[in-house]
Every structure is written in C-alpha cells, then in structure tokens.
A = this chain, B = another copy of it.
Amino acid sequence: MTTSPSSLRADAARNRGLIVEAARDLFRTRGINVPLSAVARRAGVGVATLFRRFPTRESLVSEVFAEQIERCEAVLEEAVSDPDPWRGFRRLVEFACAEQREDRGFTEAFLATFTNDHDERREQAETAFDTLVLRAQECGRLRPDFAASDLVMLLMANNGLRAAPAEHADVLSRRLVAYLLQAFETTTGPGEGALPPASPLRLHHAQGQP
C-alpha cells in the first residue's frame, strides 16, 4: 500500500487543523503556557507531529490567535475613525475587557504579540491608541488627565478578577469596566451612569492571588 503525495498533504492539513483546534481549547482555559504534550494528546497526534507542524510555541500561538489579533486591530482602527471619539474609546475598552473575560489565552497571546514578535505592529497599535485618547480628550468627553497607561491599569485590574469564582467573574468585570468608564469621562453627571448588576460576593471571596 502506498500513500500518494496528495493524501499525505491531506493528512498533514487535517493534523494541522486538529492541533490548532486542540490548542485553541486549551489556551482558552489554561493559558498559552499549557504543556504542548497536552495539546498533542488532545489533538490525538504525536508530539513529534506537533513539532513538525509548529516548531515553536510562538508559531502555534500565532496561528491560533491570528484571527482574533486581527479583529482586535480592526476594532482599534474602527475606534480611531469613529466620528464620535468617545464612543470609539468606550467601545474599544469594552471590547478588550470582554475578550479578556472570555479567553485567557487570547489576552496572553495579544500581549505576547505586542511584546515579542511584532514591534512594528505594537507601535502601530500604541500610536493608534494615543490618537484615540487625544481625540476623545479634544472632544471634551475623556478627562484631560487620562493617561495611556490607564488602559494597562484597567486590563491588569480586569485580569485580577479571574481570581473570583467563575460564575461571578463576569459580573465583577462588567461592573469594574462601567465604574472606570464613568471615572474616565468628564461629563457624566454625579451618579448619572447606570451600572450593570452587582455580584453577591462577600469579603472572603477576594482571596485569589495573581
């Protein structure tokens, strides 16, 4: 029995798909540093096959999250060109925090993208965000003392809420984002903005550690 080149290629493509799918599932729940042997096991392929397709962890991470990273860049671009810069700013913040809630791996991949491989992409994203901030300030809705690093603050704080029991984490995150967007805005009247519902958590739930 011989294996034709085309069925070899079909096999390779199928394996590649299985690996990417398995990695997506595991990255989502356990982060991008999950052992690659676990990815291979879940994909039903050998570790050698995995390394043949993806010689480095980075190459697998890039493939898994390429689409999401692009979506993120698109949302940023959309935000920058929104005729209402404050709405653009708010949408970007809400989008980033929602992505963070839904997918642990994505946040890591997003930040890894902007840390290691793609200095140019990172600089573009940072410049675009600076522009967005400036416009939102110029239109009078974003407070003039808002700093770009306040977005980092928000993302890290939002990440800290993962320590909450899973069924509360979303509620806490929505609340945090709503509070901070109100604090970022110059023109919210006193206590004007409506908040999303509160969680029933008590003090002893706050024990997670980063």
By a beta-carbon cutoff of 8 Å, the part of chain A in contact with chain B is 31, 104, 107-108, 111-112, 114-115, 122, 125-126, 129, 143-145, 147-153, 155-164, 172, 175-176, 179-180, 182-191, 194-195, 198-210
Do B156 and A208 touch across chains, with their CB atoms under 8 A apart?
yes
Q: Which residue of A112, A157, A158 has the most chain B CB atoms within 10 A of its CB atom?
A: A157
Task: Select A145's contact among B129, B159, B186, B195, beta carbons within 8 Å.
Answer: B195
Q: What copy number does this chain have within its complex?
A: 2
Q: What is the CA–CA distance of A137 and B194 in the complex, to the nearest angstrom?
A: 16
Q: What is the CA–CA distance of A205 and B198 in the complex, to the nearest angstrom?
A: 29
A/B interface sample: 10 pairs, CB < 8 A: A111-B207, A126-B203, A145-B195, A150-B175, A152-B206, A153-B175, A155-B206, A156-B206, A157-B157, A186-B191
Do A150 and B198 touch across chains, with their CB atoms under 8 A apart?
yes
**Residue of B with least CB distance to A191:** B186
Query: In the complex, what residues of B have CB within 8 A of residue A114's CB?
Result: 203-204
Q: What is the CA–CA distance of A172 and B156 in the complex, to the nearest angstrom?
A: 9
Q: What is the CA–CA distance of A155 and B206 in the complex, to the nearest angstrom?
A: 7
Q: What is the CA–CA distance of A157 and B63 in the complex, to the nearest angstrom?
A: 31
Q: What is the CA–CA distance of A114 and B186 in the complex, to the nearest angstrom?
A: 38
Do B159 and A125 touch across chains, with their CB atoms under 8 A apart?
no
A191-B186, A204-B122, A209-B159 in contact; A153/B199 too (CB < 8 A)? Answer: yes
A144-B191, A191-B144, A209-B104 in contact; A172/B199 too (CB < 8 A)? Answer: no
A157-B158, A157-B160, A160-B156 in contact; A179/B190 too (CB < 8 A)? Answer: no
Task: Select A202's contact among B112, B152, B179, B207, beta carbons within 8 Å.
Answer: B152
Q: What is the CA–CA distance of A43 and B201 in the complex, to the nearest angstrom?
A: 38
Q: What is the CA–CA distance of A122 and B205 in the complex, to the nearest angstrom?
A: 12
Q: What is the CA–CA distance of A114 and B31 in the complex, to the nearest angstrom?
A: 30
Query: In the complex, what residues of B have CB within 8 A of residue A183's CB?
Result: 179-180, 182-183
